[in-house]
Amino acid sequence: MTDTPVMQPRGSLREWLRAPTASSPRQARAQAVWRGWQRLITNRAAFAGLIVLLILVTLAVVGPWLTPYSVMGQDLSVRLQPPSAQHLLGTDDLGRDILTRILYGARITLMMAALVAVIAGPIGLAVGATAGYLGGWFDIVAMRLVDVFLSFPSLILALAFVAALGPGIENAVIAISLSAWPPIARLARAEALTVRKSDYIAAARLQGASPMRLIMKHVMPICLPSVVVRVTLNMAGIILTAAGLGFLGLGAQPPSPEWGAMLASGRQFMLTSWWLAATPGAAIMLVSLSFNLLGDGLRDVLDPRND
């Protein structure tokens, strides 16, 4: 937004946000966001999800400084140790500290999820907004394509892509992104359809704005909020898919502390040393649970019926 900020007397931001009637569109918008935020943090589950995610991100960032152990360093003298004071989550078959590896793994998982979000989000947004705004043959072709992609459960499609591209983290990210954009495109299109006919778009068009510019400047910003919520909601699924690929040996490869891969290599020790497979699985669940809680909360906030 380019309009100059309204001057505020110090300390009255709260009042400004809470004023019973808004005196400018800007204030009204800010108030809507503020109310949404209030509702989000009063929703205990969503708030918990948010907090856990923040903690996880922090841990992923500072993790390496928290632990005395190295992520790859093997020490066969302490292999398969159960959880203890030295190794809070025990050690694996090569004597590596599992907690350390889980902390490093958080980086990989969160990074993969973030990459998928920044690849699939914009692609879906661009395709959907353009299709919804332009209509016509572009719309027909794009939505057919979306239908085709949606004819596969996302893991299956990602598997097919990985099979062709070859295993590995980068390819897993590409494969998951390729299977994650279609639902976003469909959503963005639905949003774009609702604004296509609005007066201000017509006004901008009359002023001679090109379709490209209209889509970028006016249609996409309108679609953005729901796309962001949708991506948050899909994040849990993305993480599960990434872990599934790792587990099948098609994502991150073994020495990597990716959680799915850790689980797969801990699997053979399941019956004797349960913590090898149990802990990375619990970590995956914690992250995807947090995203689900946050996503649910966001959806509740944006759905006026839940007032």
For residues 268 and 94, the answer to whether their CB atoms sit within 8 Å is no
**Shortest spacing between CB 207 and another protein, in angstroms:** 36
216 near another protein, judged by CB under 8 A: no
Whether residue 186 contacts residue 128, with contact meaning beta carbons closer than 8 Å, is answered with: yes
Residue 247 · residue 261 · CB < 8 Å: yes
- Residue 181 binds to another protein (criterion: CB under 8 A): no
CB neighbours (10 Å) of residue 93? Answer: 15
CB of 190 to another protein, least distance (A): 18
The binder of another protein chosen from 196, 278, 300, 302 (CB under 8 A): 278
> Can you read off the two tokens belonging to residue 135?
């209509």
What would the two tokens of residue 69 be? 């152990």
C-beta of 127 vs 201, nearer to another protein: 127
Q: Which residue has 């907690």 as its token pair?
A: 99
Nearer to another protein, 229 or 248 (CB): 248
The span from the CA of 150 to the CA of 54, in Å, is 32
Task: Decide: is 144 part of the binding site for another protein (CB under 8 A).
Answer: yes
Provide the β-strand partners of residue 97.
91
- The reply on whether position 249 binds another protein by CB under 8 A is yes
Applying CB under 8 A, which of residues 32, 33, 76, 270 lies at the interface with another protein?
270
Q: Tell me if 95 contacts another protein by CB under 8 A.
A: no
As measured in angstroms, the least distance from the Cβ of 156 to another protein is: 5
What DSSP character marks residue 219? I
Candidate ranges 50-58, 70-78, 94-102, 140-148; the one touching another protein (CB under 8 A): 140-148
CA 291 to CA 117: how far, in whole Å? Answer: 13
Minimum CB distance to another protein smaller for 176 or for 236: 236
Please, what is the minimum distance in Å from the beta carbon of residue 58 to another protein? 21
* Near another protein in 155-174, by CB under 8 A: 155-157, 159-166
99: how many CB neighbours lie within 10 A of its CB? 19
> Rounded to whole angstroms, how far apart are CA atoms 214 and 202?
10
| DSSP characters over 161-204 | HHHHH-SSHHHHHHHHHHHHHHHHHHHHHHHHHHHHT-HHHHHH
Mind spelling out the 3-state secondary structure of 40-77?
HHHCHHHHHHHHHHHHHHHHHHHHHHHCCCCCCCCCHH
Decide if residue 151 touches another protein (CB under 8 A): yes
Should residue 209 be labelled a site residue for another protein when binding is judged by CB under 8 A? Answer: no
| Residue 263 lies near another protein (rule: CB under 8 A) | yes
Task: Give min distance, CB of 83 to another protein, in A.
Answer: 16
Please identify, using beta-carbon distances, which residue of 120 and 263 lies nearer to another protein. 263
Binding site for another protein (CB under 8 A): 35, 144-145, 147-149, 151-157, 159-166, 236, 240, 243-244, 247-250, 260, 263, 267, 270-271, 274, 277-278, 280-282, 284-285, 288-289, 292-293, 296
